[in-house]
């Protein structure tokens, strides 16, 4: 089915604008990057052809020549994909450690650009504050933070993390913490101390600014 024949609310770009990038499937994300299909093939068809050949993780390491071997991918589309994955690599190379709340804000801000509901992540770090991994914990409602303690610390133990940093957004744009935010922070800090996995900070991302429990001496 051609994109223009799909109901407006089901089109990848419109879904991204309405629900955020995290709500899209891998094929839909690639479709947004490519923008157009080919003669007789919709952009979703091309995206699915790409994913039949490589996973998203594998695509990040493909060369221009390898990408052009995929059915429906010519020089222009291969270049688009390569540019996106190269940008991601450079961002990760640039921010490898998080020493301050501003570092956390800069590192995580791209994940919340189009978010319409509260989404929570956990950054695992080692003793030197090097990022080991980032785990998505939950998608809450429009104004609700949902965090499961067992999920938090199970993931941290699997990563052999020394410490964790909780990060979530406020879709309203105002990063001021709610009482629920304060409660979750207190509970995770106490549980972490018992397990020897320390909550370094809880950063709330707003539209242009952030709130840090650690910097506000509220942790």
Question: What is the signed CA dihedral for 143, 99, 84, 60, rounded to 10 degrees?
Answer: -110
pLDDT for the residue 130: 93
C-alpha distances in Å from residue 94, one per residue of 4, 89, 90, 107: 39, 9, 6, 9
pLDDT for the residue 61: 83
Helix, coil or strand: residue 101: helix
Last residue of a domain, one of 94, 110, 126: 94
Residue ranges for the chain with pLDDT beneath 50: none
Residue 165 falls within a domain, yes or no?
yes
Residue 180 falls within a domain, yes or no?
yes
The CATH number of residue 105's host domain is: 3.40.140.10
Judgement on whether residues 89 and 11 belong to the same structural domain of the protein: yes
Q: How many domains does the chain have?
A: 2
Q: Say what angle helices 26-34 and 12-19 make with each other, to 10 degrees.
A: 110
Q: Which of 24, 20, 23, 74 is nearest to 49 (CA)?
A: 74
pLDDT for the residue 194: 92
pLDDT for the residue 144: 61
* Residue 55 φ then ψ, to 5°: -75, 170
Residue 132 falls within a domain, yes or no?
yes
What letter does residue 166 receive in the DSSP assignment?
A: E
Distance CA 201, CA 183 (A): 14
Give yes or no for a contact between 96 and 130, defined as CB atoms under 8 angstroms apart: yes
Alpha helices (runs of H) in the chain, residue ranges in sequence order = 12-19, 26-34, 43-53, 56-59, 64-68, 75-94, 101-108, 149-158, 179-195
* Residue 113 φ then ψ, to 5°: -55, -40
Residue 218 falls within a domain, yes or no?
no
pLDDT for the residue 126: 94
Tell me which residue range forms the domain holding 48: 3-94
Give yes or no for a contact between 162 and 147, defined as CB atoms under 8 angstroms apart: no
pLDDT for the residue 142: 53
Give yes or no for a contact between 28 and 47, defined as CB atoms under 8 angstroms apart: yes
pLDDT for the residue 143: 58
Number of H helices, E strands in the chain: 9, 5
pLDDT for the residue 116: 79
């Amino acid at each position: 089915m051609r994109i223009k024949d799909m109901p407006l609310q089901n089109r990848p770009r419109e879904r991204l604008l309405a629900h955020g990038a995290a709500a899209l499937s891998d094929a839909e994300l690639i479709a947004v990057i490519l923008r157009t299909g080919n003669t007789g093939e919709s952009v979703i068809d091309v995206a699915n052809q790409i994913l039949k050949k490589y996973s998203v993780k594998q695509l990040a390491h493909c060369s221009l020549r390898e990408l052009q071997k995929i059915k429906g991918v010519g020089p222009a589309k291969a270049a688009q994909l390569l540019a996106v994955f190269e940008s991601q690599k450079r961002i990760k190379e640039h921010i490898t450690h998080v020493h301050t709340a501003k570092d956390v804000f800069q590192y995580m801000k791209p994940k919340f650009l189009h978010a319409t509901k509260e989404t929570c992540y956990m950054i695992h770090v080692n003793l030197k504050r090097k990022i080991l991994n980032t785990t998505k914990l939950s998608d809450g409602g429009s104004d609700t933070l949902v965090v499961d303690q067992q999920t938090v610390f199970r993931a941290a133990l699997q990563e052999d993390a020394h410490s964790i940093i909780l990060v979530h957004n406020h879709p309203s744009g105002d990063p001021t913490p709610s009482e629920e935010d304060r409660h979750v922070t207190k509970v995770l800090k106490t549980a972490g101390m018992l397990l020897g996995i320390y909550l370094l900070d809880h950063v709330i991302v707003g539209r242009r600014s952030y709130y840090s429990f650690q910097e506000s001496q509220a942790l």
